Structure 1
Amino acid sequence: MDETTPLLPGEDGGDGGGGGSQQRGPRCASFFQARRPRTIYFLLSLMVFGLSFSGSLGDVPVTRLIEDNLCQRYYAARLDGATRHNKIDESLCKSDEIQSQLAYLNGLLPMIEAVVGLFVALPYGLKSGINGVFRKGRKPVLWLSLAGIFVSGLWIAVVLALGQRISIYIILISPVFAVVGGGSTVLVSAIYSVVADVVCEADRVSAFLTVSLGSLVGNLFGPLTASSLMRTSSPWTPIALSLLILLLAMGVIGFIPETLPALKQEEEWSVSRDDSLYGTVNSYVWEFKDQIKEAIGMIRQPSLSLILFAFLCPSPVGIATSALFIQYVSKRFDWSMAAAGYLLSVRSMVNVFVVLLVIPGLSKLLVSGVVVKGFSAGEKDRILAQASAFSLAAGFLLLAGTTMPIVISGLIIKTLGAGLPSLCRSLAAYHTSAENTSKLQTVIGITETMGLLVAAPGLAWMFSIGMKLGGVWMGLPCPPSPVAAMTTAHRPTFDPARGKEALRGPAYHQRLQPAHTQLKFRKAGQGGDADDEPSRDLAAELLAAEAVHFSKKKGAPVPGDEDDDQENVSVAAEKRPLPPAGDGEEDYEAKRRRILEETRDIDADDSSEEDDEDSDDESEDDEDAELQRELERVRREREEKKKREKEQKRKRKRARETLHWGTRFSISRITR
């Protein structure tokens, strides 16, 4: 799913005109609602910051309260309830049994959340779902999604507040509240759709960068604030603040107008009006079958299947560096969870550095060819994906270290590979045609969900085994986490990349291509100047010139050309030659006449030749000047075309990279 993909099929997120460049305002707005597109996506960025800050603010204290609940039950069962109302020190809660239950509980929660989200988000992604649920626009989707997230977090807080009165495992019901609005997946899609509705294509890159920046900043300051409040007061302070900030983020929606055009709503409502239960379920089943068939056809490609295998990595990597990582550091190095929470801020800080500076800078460096030869976009993404995979592998190996400096260095090195999912999405796009991009995103989402279903309980089991073995084996969940990512360490194709980028390149109609790129000259028989200058027989001219030369040398009559010298011959025939002198010498007058006639012919030939040469030189100069002007015009047109293509390519590249590097600001629920 990219920034142009609508929340639901049938919505283009634009003005219906195929992604024009005109800026579209909201359909209507109250006096207190924003009207300018820039103000609207700034409010969305503020809302995303609140959601990210709220989610990361509650991760560490919720984990600590769950641990305390399990600890109370553990000692109450062994001391006959003597500690039921007494506070137990956190250092006494690091036994293997308590930590094993905590690991399984933190593993089951995201697994159930993924299963519920997979089935709940499906109706929101089908055409038939929108016709029966949402006909009012984007804002109902935002309201209901945030309401479901808030109720889910409130449920966890209530269960933890009741303490020993009810079972702690009741918090596993919290993901069920995602049915209210589809959960975080639908919420992210709705936010992207609102931005696409109001922002023109030229400003879409900066708009999504602003929204992504809100998520990055929220994840940076959330754990830092939570750890500080836990050390100064209690875990309940950041939890209460988290719920309050979530309500404030919901209030921001009130200042955002409805952005879905009314005409488009009517068209969506008229697509299907089978409101019966059987018709709705039947449409769901058929559309789901079609998506499964298309997905199976796509993964049959060997190269694409290898890249999709790498998408099993993000889920275990995310789990291993969030709640499980806090638990691992607290257990192995005897740190309090409040102190371990500061490490999450270090991770977020490095993540901001990687997303905003490292990956864009390396991308420009590899494409420009300043240091190494210029790579194509596909080769550049492959090289960066390989580097990210190696960084993940090396970082997780260091996370299993025996000292805290080694673990912190491993966390930093591991975070340098945070761009692997986005890079793999780009690589997968090169193996898919443009019309199958949305289908590819669906397959990727299913693959990531499958990875989460396996990774959540699997890493919890490995952590439990590591605690039983003790020593270095406590870092057992760390090395297997990036195994799937290492599939990108080789060239992700069984066949040399021939014409792969042509699928993603710009397509131009034949009429838009330059038709005349070379100058053409007329030939003999085509009219114009070509017919005025007949071809010359150079051999005949050379023989005639030699004959004239030898005739003049011998004093014999000069053989003239029948066409050019006919007049001179007739004039010479009319003149009677003078009789020779009596003493055998040529008469002076006759000699003078003969010399004048000979020199006259020579002068006439020289003048005609000079005129011909001058005219030829002038014509050649004119032709050369015209040729140079035409070549200059063609060169100028080509340069302008290259500039236009380069600018268009740069805009598309910026839009794609912003989507790739934009953090999937996981609206991490307060459950972690």
Structure 2
Amino acid sequence: MSLYQLPLNRLIERRLCGDFYRSTDPSLIQPDGSIDEKLCKVDEIEKSLGRIQGVMETLWVSGDFIMTIPLSFLAETWGRRAILGLNLVPRVLMLLWARAIYFGYMSSVSYVVALLGPALASSTMTLSLWLPFWLGIFLLLLAIPAIYLLPSHGDPAEGRQSPDEEQREPLLSSPLLKAQDDRKSLFHSTADRLQTIYTIVTSHPRNFTLLLISFMLTSLASSDTKLLVQYISGRYHWTFAAAGYLLSGKAVVNFTLLTWIIPKFLHSRAEPGQETHSTVDKANVRYASVCLIVSVLGALGIAVAAEIWMLIPSLFVYALGSALPIFTLSLLKSPAICPPYAGDATDPSNPESHIFSIVMLVKTVGSLLGAPLMAALWVRGIGIGGVAFGMPYFVSATCYMIAIYVFRGINVE
């Protein structure tokens, strides 16, 4: 997605810009039909771009949310390879889909991509606006052989799966609802899964519900990051290529924080043989609260940054909050949040295999709410002008502050 975002913004803006100047001042259009990108940074064009991007992002997240459970059932019936291969078709047209398996590995990979994506897009789009799209299609095609290297699903010779293998199951896979029940319709299978989710959430302690609320709030708040490219370009009249290089610097901070600083810090704080669940959980809650406070400060800094020199340090402060998932996801293993299952770990009624999937659904709901909200606030802010440009980031800071209050209600004693 980081490879597509910059050229996609520029492509839509160029079309809107051409339509705008053909009706207002055709003399600014060059003989080859091009228009200086700096001339496109006017309110009418930026508002139209914000509306279009908001609708596109909302539709995309809606598709993810609606299809998550049905696709998990189809993956059980047809196999993971078929569904992942099918999943590449729309990605060739547009974007990349991320799954919630092995969060540590996925976070590292995502930040490497976030580091390389904007810089690669910025450098290639200066040669040709279409080059990042062709490069993205090529990279997606390379994913096809990787998919077919995955182990097949449902092979009778595999026998009973181990608990570790269960983590590789399709999202929201439930041993209670395996594909041998394929006589059920897709609708009934989806309804059964939703009932399973509801039962798990209501049977867990209040701490689990509070943690899910915090996941939704932070996911909603982080929807503002999708606006950063347009925010930098529209408010400070930077080209999209220049904005991409700046965002690569933010990704460097994220990557350094998660791969070196945080691990070193946690290692230095560890006391072998003296740590209990309670002390570890208290530390995770404390560090998560610090990350939320930093996110509040970063979002407020971005919101009030009237000049680019004020924005840059605010972006880096905001990037420091990216360590939050390390601590919040670690809390999912806390007995005070998710009590250990008393029965056999391979028991079909064991809810632990569903926890991460439920978290991802909740985060998707937050993104689904955040995408149209942030776009609407951005468009409204452009119309008002001044400090109102930062309206999406004021709202993000508010969501982070509410999440801090929610965290105070989590008791891990």
Q: Same fold per TM (> 0.5)?
A: yes
Mapped contact 1:121–1:185 kept (Cα < 8 A): no
Distance 1:76 1:297, change over 3 A: farther
Whole-angstrom distance in 2 between the partners of 1:287 and 1:362:
40
| SS at structure 2 position matched to 1:460 | helix
SS at match of 1:479: helix
How much is the aligned-residue C-alpha RMSD, in angstroms? 3.2
- Between the aligned partners of 1:226 and 1:220, the Cα distance in structure 2 is 11
Aligned equivalents of 1:226, 1:272: Cα separation in 2: 42
Distance 1:264 1:395, change over 3 A: farther
Match of 1:508 in 2: none
How far residue 131 of structure 1 moved from its aligned partner, in angstroms, is 4.9
Q: Deviations over 1:33-85 (max 9, x none)?
A: xxxxxxxxxxxxxxxxxxxxxx3222101111011112222233446999697
- Asked whether the equivalents of residues 367 and 376 of structure 1 are also in contact (C-alpha less than 8 Å), the reply is no
Give yes or no for contact 1:143–1:253 (8 Å, CA) kept in 2: yes
Q: Aligned partners of 1:479 and 1:391: how far apart in 2?
A: 14
In 1, Cα distance between the equivalents of 2:284 and 2:391?
31
The 3 A distance-change label for structure 1 pair 422 and 359 is: same
Q: CA deviation at 1:305?
A: 3.3
Task: Kindly provide the CA deviation profile for residues 586-624 of structure 1, in whole angstroms up to 9, marking residues without a partner as x.
Answer: xxxxxxxxxxxxxxxxxxxxxxxxxxxxxxxxxxxxxxx
Please say if 1:250 is aligned against 2:141: no
1:407 aligns with 2:311: yes
* 1:72 to 2:23 alignment: no
Rounded to whole Å, the distance in 2 between the matches of 1:315 and 1:494 is 19
Q: CA deviation at 1:274?
A: 5.3
Q: What residue in structure 2 maps to residue 485 of structure 1?
A: 400
CA distance 1:317–1:350, shift in 2 (3 Å): farther
Partner of 1:456 in structure 2?
371
For residue 213 of structure 1, report the CA deviation from its aligned partner.
Answer: 4.2
| Preserved CA contact (<8 Å) 1:396 1:482 | yes
Match of 2:391 in 1: 476
How far apart are residue 253 of structure 1 and its match? 3.9
Note if 1:304 corresponds to 2:208. Answer: yes
1:63 is the counterpart of 2:9:
yes
Alignment of 1:300-379 (within 5 A): 301-322=205-226, 324-368=227-271, 376-379=279-282
- The residue type paired with residue 282 of structure 1 is H
Superposed displacement of residue 314, structure 1: 4.0
Query: 2:6 is paired with a residue of what secondary structure?
Result: helix
Counterparts of 2:16 and 2:139, CA distance in 1: 28
Say which of 263, 284, 287 aligns to 1:384: 287
Letter in 2 for 1:150: V
- Post-superposition CA distance 1:100-146 (Å, at most 9, x none): 121122122221112111221202334xx445332xxx433432222
Structure 1 residues 460 and 284: alpha-carbon distance in aligned structure 2, compared to 1, 3 A threshold: closer
Letter matched to residue 413 of structure 1:
V
Task: Give the Cα separation in 2 of the matches to 1:259 and 1:396.
Answer: 44
Task: Name the SS for the 1:234 alignment partner.
Answer: coil
The question of 1:224 aligning with 2:119 is answered yes
CA distance in 2, matches of 1:296, 1:487: 22
Residues 197-226 of structure 1 show CA distances to partners (whole Å, capped at 9, x for unaligned) of xxxxxxxx9xx64x6544432321221121
Task: Give the Å deviation of 1:272.
Answer: 4.8
Q: 2:117 corresponds to which letter in structure 1?
A: G
Q: Does 1:433 align with 2:339?
A: yes
Instruction: Give the length in aligned residue pairs.
Output: 381
Larger Rg: 1
The structure in which a higher percent of residues are helix is 2
The answer on whether the counterparts of 1:463 and 1:476 sit within 8 Å (CA) in structure 2 is yes
Does residue 287 (structure 1) correspond to residue 201 (structure 2)? The answer is no
Residues 220, 349 of structure 1: 8 Å contact kept? yes
TM-score (norm 2): 0.81
- Equivalent residue in structure 1 for 2:323, among 407, 410, 419: 419
Aligned position for 2:77? 132
Q: 2:221, 2:400 within 8 Å by CA — same for their partners in 1?
A: no
1:239 equivalent in structure 2: 133
Which position in structure 2 is the counterpart of 1:89? 36
* Residue aligning to 1:184: 97
- Alpha-carbon offset, residue 273 of structure 1: 4.4
Aligned residues of 1:131 and 1:273 also touching (Cα < 8 A): no
Select the residue among 132, 155, 173 that pairs with 1:262: 155
Asked if structure 2 preserves the Cα contact closer than 8 Å seen for 1:429 and 1:437, the reply is: no
| Whole-Å separation in 2 of the counterparts to 1:497 and 1:426 | 13
2:125 is aligned with what amino acid?
M
Following superposition, the deviation at residue 353 of structure 1 comes to: 0.8
Q: Percent identity?
A: 26
The amino acid that maps onto 2:144 is M
Higher relative contact order (CA 8 A, sep 6+): 2
Say whether the 8 Å CA contact 1:317–1:481 is kept in structure 2. yes
- Residues 263-320 of structure 1: per-residue CA shift (max 9 Å, x gap): 267889x9554555x644323323323323433454xx54333332221344344432
Unmatched tracts of structure 1, length 5 or more: 1-54, 154-182, 193-204, 499-672
Q: Note the residue ranges of structure 2 that are not aligned, 5 or more in a row.
A: 161-174, 342-350
Map 1:263-278 onto structure 2 (within 5 A). 263=156, 272-273=179-180, 275-276=182-183
Q: Residues 427 and 218 (structure 1 numbering): CA distance in 2 closer, same or farther, change over 3 Å?
A: same
